């Protein structure tokens, strides 16, 4: 699985890797293989017009390019913004290139791991290279429950003939295709085919930065398009500057205009996010330093 973001005239494409925010944050199980070689380097700034972020799983490890240390922590711990606490501000602006590989004899073990487990394998690396220290706490935070709106769901049922489950090499019980997310001068768009509500929850939780719980009762696979304007927090989490007016538009234009993610959910998909308080597991950063040299 591979994700690329390019900012400027070129659109951003993210093939969704995002993880389930409803699950409790996990420390990497010691039974998982350890990375044998990890290269961590400062990312060379290409300028805003060529800003890019790439992250992918590889046959023998992981590749992460141009993202912030903050983004890497969220990946490794599998939590949205509200559940990673006490980060120093510099971790949000420090952009890194990381290549992590296991020993050749461990490469086949990666095939049985989920993408969440692969990213969690970076936690011992961060403990070693960044002197990361953290602890878990249970706190009462605002969470959102996703429900079907008053007018009913507007999701389109996917055609079973086009389902991943009917294709060679796809295991029975597959959760469908992962949605694709794109970012342009018009805002953020998710396009999904044969996708579950679970995959939508995963993406939305990271975008709003708050834990999102599914209470829709929708268990099928769906085709849909969802478009909205991200808030400032979402731009910062992605490590991207907040865009101004598109090129060629006058000073009267004040940047992007359009529906918020919550308005878009109800108007375009017939779903509604309801806020409530609930106890959740959070990660508290006790100490972190810039990564040591290779």
- Cα of first residue to Cα of last residue in the chain, in angstroms, is 26
* Residue 291 tokens, joined: 């990564």
Number of domains making up the chain: 1
Q: What is the DSSP string of 196-216?
A: -HHHHHHHHHHHHTS-EEE-S
> 88-115 burial, b if ≥16 CB within 10 A, otherwise e?
eeebbebbbbbbbbbeeebbeebeeeeb
pTM of the complete model? 0.64
**Which of 76-85, 171-180, 184-193, 209-218 comes out lowest in average pLDDT?**
171-180
- Beta bridge pairs of residue 42: 96
pLDDT digits (tens, 9 = 90+) for 142-181: 999 999 999 999 999 988 766 554 443 333 333 445 677 7
Residue 140 lies in a domain: yes
CA torsion through residues 130, 113, 284, 89, sign: positive
Residue 294 lies in a domain: no
Write out the residue range of the structural domain in which residue 154 sits: 2-287
The confidence band for 81, taking pLDDT boundaries of 50, 70 and 90, is confident
**Which of 8-17, 49-58, 180-189, 235-244 comes out lowest in average pLDDT?**
8-17
Element of type H or E holding 119? helix 115-120
Residue 292 lies in a domain: no
């Amino acid at each position: 699985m591979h994700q690329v973001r390019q900012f400027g005239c070129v659109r951003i494409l993210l093939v969704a890797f995002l993880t389930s925010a409803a699950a409790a944050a996990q420390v990497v199980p010691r039974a998982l293989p350890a990375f044998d070689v990890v290269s961590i380097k400062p990312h060379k700034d290409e300028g805003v017009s060529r800003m890019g972020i790439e992250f992918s799983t590889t046959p023998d490890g992981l590749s992460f390019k141009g993202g912030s240390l903050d983004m890497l922590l969220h990946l490794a711990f599998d939590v949205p913004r509200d559940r990673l606490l006490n980060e120093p501000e510099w971790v949000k602006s420090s952009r890194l290139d990381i290549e992590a590989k296991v020993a050749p004899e461990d490469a086949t073990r990666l095939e049985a791991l989920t993408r969440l487990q692969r990213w969690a394998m970076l936690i011992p690396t961060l403990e070693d290279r960044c002197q990361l220290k953290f602890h878990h706490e249970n706190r009462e935070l605002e969470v959102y429950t996703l429900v079907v709106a008053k007018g009913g769901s507007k999701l389109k049922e996917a055609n079973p003939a086009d389902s991943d489950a009917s294709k060679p090499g796809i295991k029975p019980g597959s959760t469908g295709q992962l949605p694709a997310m794109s970012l342009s001068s018009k805002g953020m768009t998710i396009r999904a085919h044969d996708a579950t509500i679970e995959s939508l929850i995963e993406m939305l939780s990271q975008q709003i930065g708050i834990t999102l719980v599914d209470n829709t009762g929708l268990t099928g696979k769906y085709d849909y398009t969802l478009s909205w304007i991200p808030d400032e927090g979402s731009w910062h989490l992605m490590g991207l500057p907040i865009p101004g007016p598109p090129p060629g538009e006058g000073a009267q234009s004040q940047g992007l205009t359009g529906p918020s993610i919550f308005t878009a959910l109800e108007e375009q998909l017939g779903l509604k996010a309801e806020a409530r308080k609930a106890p959740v597991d959070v990660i508290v950063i006790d100490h972190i330093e810039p990564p040591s040299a290779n």
